[in-house]
Structure 1
Amino acid sequence: MFLNNKSIEFIKENVKRIILSFLFLSYIPSSYAQNASNTYSWDSLPKIKETEFKKDTVEITTFQAKADGITLNTQAINDAIKTCSLNGGGVVLVRKGLWLTGPIYLKSNVNLHLHRGATLLFTADKSQYKIVAGDYEGRSVARNESPINGTDLENCAITGEGIIDGNGDAWRAVGSSQLTAGEWKSKLASGGVLSDDGKTWFPSQQYKDAHVLGKSMLLLPGKKTEDFADMKDFLRPNLMVLKNCKRILLEGVIFQNSAAWCLHPVISEDLTIRKITVKNPHYAQNGDGLDLESCKNFIVENSVFDVGDDAICIKSGKDEEGRKRGIATESGIIRGNVVYSGHGGVVVGSEMSGGARNIFIENCTFLGTDKGLRFKSTRGRGGVVENIFARNIFMNNIAQEAIFFDMFYFVKFATDSERDQTPVVNEGTPIFKNMVFDQVYCNGANKGIFIRGLSEMHIQNISISNSVFKVNIGAELAQISNLKLNNLKFTTTSSSPLVTISTSQNITFNGFTYDPEVPVLIKLEGRDIGGISLQNTDYSIAKKRLELKTGATEKMIVFR
């Protein structure tokens, strides 16, 4: 049988897809295979076990705590918590006042309750915080003790209407461009040292040296915590770390001004986070709001976030260490939350090497965040992110993208080590698939939808429906396979093409609405494109229906 060049190319392309599919299936960890028959849905959400406490109450003043903002109450508060727990649990009460303290250790069956007007202010005296073995960005690292700590606990809570303040400005560096002239002047007057170019303020010479020399905080084999004494100031603590805990409640309290991440539950389950406020300055380096790492069965609802980095973030370990741990963040509900400042409203990654799955996001509002729904990873991470569902998401004045997927995310930090970044499918290949977004409304963003997968592993099986985007640029799609866009409306201001597609397969537009006189409706760029289909759409109102670049052809797309 004679085969012409087109037939040969067709066969080659299909063989390539079969091989990629086989490799994709080969690298799904066995722990994910057993969850393939997902039983969760909007009508059957994950269940979270709740806390319950005795009514017995212990006041911290019984242990000579003083609300004068000067007395260090570390011992008194910890003694109150310990005594309450030893007596079977109950409530440790913090009445109104300014309570200065060092690190606090929560205990099982204890509800730390703050009255309105109560502020737990953590001391800026770094000698009160020991260097300990901790977890940060998915790696085992040396850290200063967190202000609030808990390990191997069950049934614990922080509730009330008070404030917990991490005194983060004493720990973090800041650039002159991030502050007003008056704020910068005050910062210089507070002490510290400047970078050689005079543009960055550091809390101490020790911090500056660690930053300039690129010192690592990784607790590698043979390293001890005391080995990090010469960079102690650089090891900024998260405000709260709860590890290997069950049945956690955070409710009503304001958590603010963390030195690094604010709230960090890790390898924990049955978390209820409700009606809290999380605040970090916009310039707060690594100032995440909530980082749920390798956690199972959680709900985050009716809370407010206004932070310096990602707001609500899903993580599960980093690179090889995270893959060896192999604990996904799964079975969660995120609903009714408001996010103001933040790099992303709800974020997955980039440290997601243990995977993430079965997460439901609804009725959330993002006001002025950099990005809305943000998914990020990079070669070498590995992990499978799947079964993510979002509906009724409302965004206003988003600085960058409303919906964002990027598999080329990488920022060099002190928890990094070498990893394989070659473009082949292996255990370090991140896999993002099977997500459904419905009723996403964005009034103002640079781009409505941005998707960039990997050449060796496309982002797969994404559906976006019944959504409206008022943006500069509609969508940029690359390395995506099996994307369904149903009943989308775009209002755009840019002279760029409404949608640009490259290196992608099987994209369906159904019921596409856009402004008349759009310069270019669809731009195809490159040779590796196929299965693009538009239907139930008026193509006549665009100035130009199709633009072809760098080898793209009309046969790659069908207008129905």
Structure 2
Amino acid sequence: MRKFIVLILHLAFALSVNAADCNVRAFGAKGNGKSIDSKAIQRAIDACTASGGGTVTVPAGTYLSATIMLKDNVTLNLEEGATILGVTDYKAYSNPDPFTEGLGIEVGRALLVAVDANNIGLTGKGVIDGQGSALKARHIAEDNRPEKDRWGLRPFLFRVVRCNGVKVKDVTLKYAGAWTSHYFQCRNLTIEGVKILSKGVAHNDGIDIDGCRDVSISNCDIESGDDALCFKTTSSKMSCSNIKVSNMRLKSNQAGIKIGTESMAAFEDIKISDCYIYDTRNGGIKLFSVDGAHLRNIEISDIVMDNVRTPMLMRLGARLNVFRKNEDIRQPVGSFENVTIRNVVAAAADTAQLTPPSGILITGIPGHCITNLTLENIAITLRGDGGVEDAKVQVPEAIDQYPEVKTFGPTIPAYGLWARHVRNLTLRNVKFLLKNPDARPEIICEDGDIRIY
């Protein structure tokens, strides 16, 4: 009897180990690029989490898929040569957590998603490819509404919602139907060595960190159609805080690094360093609080920018949007304080949203000033070519408008730095180098106090 019991225990242990480390092929996945494999991959994930967790392996092959859900204690490992390929039928994707993004569109469908899960991972040398352009083409053929009304039906590539203990390492994320990766109200999140190539469709953000705490992001290479690295708070319930970012390569058709636009809860205790930002078409570093957020205790350092349109834009405004209509109410104006940007070398693009180009824009609104902002050891090279009449331009307040460089253009009356509604602005070793003469002042500060060293 004792030997029998021991044998049963050994068998139970062996079965649990086999269930915990699953291969999707054993659950029916074909990997031939033709069969829909999402149900088989889901069966493998479900078996793995039911057994207590482990690794679900996706071997080399192409796995055509609709929505897949990661669950507790499961790491999805894509081996080299493995591709999860999103189907082009936008109706096949589910939306487990709908919300409204900054332009007012309901979004949230996704190819790979995790909701309220603990200890999850996405790893390996494989690829997740959303076929964004092909998916968009099919969508347009079937949906004749204007693009601004229909795009929210297209899926994100990877969404992680209210999860604790998340590790994303080494994978390649390509060609999303909308945002590439979105992390909402997550804790203990690590993103390392991720490659993102996602462009060809509007709203192709690279990494969106939305109300997350205790976050580390490092050694990633992002080329995106929209903002490359973006911090948001689409809910007032949880701040973006205790975040460290280092050693990033960032290329974007919009901004390289952005905090905001969606900005209800605080952005605080964020450090970003050692980044290379290049060929961005709508800003290098953009920091916004426009929906009531307290943006504070931010440090950005050791940044190189090359061919960047409008290297820096900082804005405290009063758009005051609400993104989760059933959970939040409109907030009062927030704050923007205790921000330091240091050790930046930037070559501004000769052709920009502003004509002629300018280097740094900083503006609060009447009665709400940006406070305790320090810019230190910064050198920006600009085209120049501003005329006498350009120096006379009045910049609109745009108090409740979407915050964007073009909101304040097309011309700024200073070529280097223009600031308005600021208190305790400190410039220490800040230089603007001109390729051609410019008749505009180097620095203008309206309704503010500035110290230059």
Q: TM-score, normalised by structure 2?
A: 0.81
Does 2:394 align with 1:485? no
Aligned to 1:439: 343
Distance in 2 between residues matched to 1:68 and 1:165, nearest whole Å = 15
Q: Which amino acid aligns with 1:203?
A: I
- After TM superposition, the structure 1 = structure 2 runs for residues 100-111 of structure 1, keeping only pairs within 5 Å, are 100-111=64-75
Tell me if structure 1 keeps the 8 A contact 2:273–2:303: yes
Of 497, 504, 521, the residue aligned with 2:447 is 504
Provide the rounded CA distance (Å) in 2 between the counterparts of 1:330 and 1:293: 10
Q: Which residue of 1 aligns with 2:51?
A: 87
Q: Is the 8 A contact 2:320 2:332 kept in 1?
A: no
Which 5+ residue runs of structure 1 have no aligned equivalent? 1-53, 173-189, 193-201, 216-230, 421-425, 511-560
Q: Which residue of 1 aligns with 2:313?
A: 404
Match of 1:204 among 137, 141, 156: 141
5+ unaligned residues in a row in structure 2: which ranges? 1-16, 350-356, 384-414
Q: Deviations over 1:511-542 (max 9, x none)?
A: xxxxxxxxxxxxxxxxxxxxxxxxxxxxxxxx
**1:373 alignment partner AA:** I
Distance 1:457 1:106, change over 3 A: same
Give yes or no for contact 1:310–1:342 (8 Å, CA) kept in 2.
yes
Question: Which of 154, 162, 176 matches 1:244?
Answer: 162
DSSP 3-state at the match of 2:41: helix
From the superposition, tell whether residues 74 and 242 of structure 1 become closer, same or farther in structure 2 (CA, over 3 Å): same
Change (3 A) 1:470 1:411: farther
CA distance in 2, matches of 1:165, 1:385: 34
Q: Is the 8 A contact 1:361 1:390 kept in 2?
A: yes
Superposed displacement of residue 444, structure 1: 2.7
Which residue of 2 is the match for residue 47 of structure 1?
none
Structure 1 residues 251-280: Cα deviation after superposition (integer angstroms, max 9, x where no partner): 101111111111111011110000001121
Q: Is the 8 A contact 2:251 2:280 kept in 1?
A: yes
Q: What amino acid is aligned across from residue 166 of structure 2 in structure 1? A: I
In the superposition, relative to structure 1, how do residues 109 and 427 fare at CA in structure 2: closer, same or farther (>3 Å)? closer
Shift in Å, 1:138: 6.9
Task: Report if the CA contact (8 A) 1:338-1:365 is conserved.
Answer: yes
Deviation at 1:170, TM superposition (A): 3.7
8 Å CA contact retained: 1:280, 1:289: yes
Q: Corresponding residue for 1:147?
A: 111
SS in 2 for 1:362: strand
Counterpart in 1 of 2:211?
294
Name the structure 2 match of 1:182.
Answer: none
- The 1-side partners of 2:85 and 2:362 are apart by 42
Equivalent in the alignment of 2:288: 376
Deviation per CA, 1:120-146: give whole Å up to 9, x if none: 001112342245541342799754631
Change (3 A) 1:131 1:456: same
Change (3 A) 1:141 1:310: closer
Decide whether the 8 Å contact of 1:465 with 1:486 is kept in 2: yes
Q: CA deviation at 1:428?
A: 2.5
Pairing 1:26-105 to 2, within 5 Å after superposition: 56-105=20-69
Query: Aligned partners of 1:287 and 1:431: how far apart in 2?
Result: 29
8 Å CA contact retained: 2:87, 2:131: yes
CA distance in 1 between partners of 2:105 and 2:45 (Å): 27
Equivalent residues in 2 for 1:117-516, closer than 5 Å: 117-130=81-94, 132-137=96-101, 143=107, 145-172=109-136, 203-206=140-143, 208-209=144-145, 211=146, 234-281=152-199, 283-317=200-234, 322-323=235-236, 325=237, 327-370=238-281, 371-378=283-290, 381-399=291-309, 401-407=310-316, 427-445=331-349, 446-472=357-383, 473-492=415-434, 493-510=436-453
**SS of equivalent residue, structure 1 residue 336:** strand
List per-residue Cα deviations over 1:3-35 (Å, max 9, x = no partner): xxxxxxxxxxxxxxxxxxxxxxxxxxxxxxxxx
How far did residue 416 of structure 1 move?
Answer: 9.8
- The Cα of 1:162 is off from its aligned counterpart by 0.8
Alpha-carbon distance in structure 2 between the residues aligned to 1:415 and 1:168:
26
User: Measured at CA, do residues 341 and 131 of structure 1 come closer, stay the same or move farther in structure 2, by a change above 3 Å?
Assistant: closer
- Maintained 8 Å contact 2:105/2:152: no
**Contact kept in structure 2, 1:141 and 1:415, CA below 8 Å:** no
Task: Describe the SS at the equivalent of 1:76.
Answer: helix
Whole-angstrom CA distance in 2 between matches of 1:306 and 1:494 = 34
Change (3 A) 1:131 1:159: closer
| Distance in 2 of aligned mates of 1:496 and 1:159 | 54
User: CA offset at residue 367 of structure 1?
Assistant: 0.9
Secondary structure in structure 2 of the residue aligned to 1:119 = strand
Determine the C-alpha separation between the residues in 2 that align with 1:488 and 1:460. 18
Mapped to 2, the partners of 1:409 and 1:372 lie a distance apart of 23
Residues 1:347 and 1:338: Cα distance change in structure 2 (over 3 Å): same
> Are the aligned partners of 2:316 and 2:369 in contact in 1 as well (CA < 8 Å)?
no
- Identity of paired residues, percent? 25
AA of the residue aligned to 1:157: G
Instruction: Give, in angstroms, the shift of residue 352 of structure 1.
Output: 1.0
Q: 1:98 to 1:427 in 2, by over 3 A?
A: closer
Cα distance in 1 for partners of 2:372, 2:204 equals: 32
RMSD, aligned α-carbons: 2.9
SS in 1 for 2:261: coil
Specify the SS of the correspondent of 1:388: strand
CA shift in 2, pair 1:450/1:143, >3 Å: closer
What is the SS of the residue equivalent to 1:479? strand
**Structure 1 144/382 Cα, relative in aligned 2: closer, same or farther at 3 Å?**
closer
Give the conservation status (yes or no) of the 8 Å contact 2:420–2:446: yes
Report the Cα offset of residue 108 of structure 1: 1.2
Question: Over residues 370-417 of structure 1, what are the superposed CA-to-partner deviations in whole Å (9 max), with x where a residue is unaligned?
Answer: 311111343xx1111000001101101102x21211346979999999
Question: What displacement does 1:366 show?
Answer: 0.1
Listed one character per residue, the Cα deviations across residues 432-483 of structure 1 (whole Å, up to 9, x for unaligned) are 1110111011123433211121112111111011121112331111222111
SS in 1 for 2:339: strand
Name the aligned partner's letter for residue 376 of structure 1.
F
* Mean Cα deviation higher: 105-114 or 439-448: 439-448
Count, aligned residues: 395
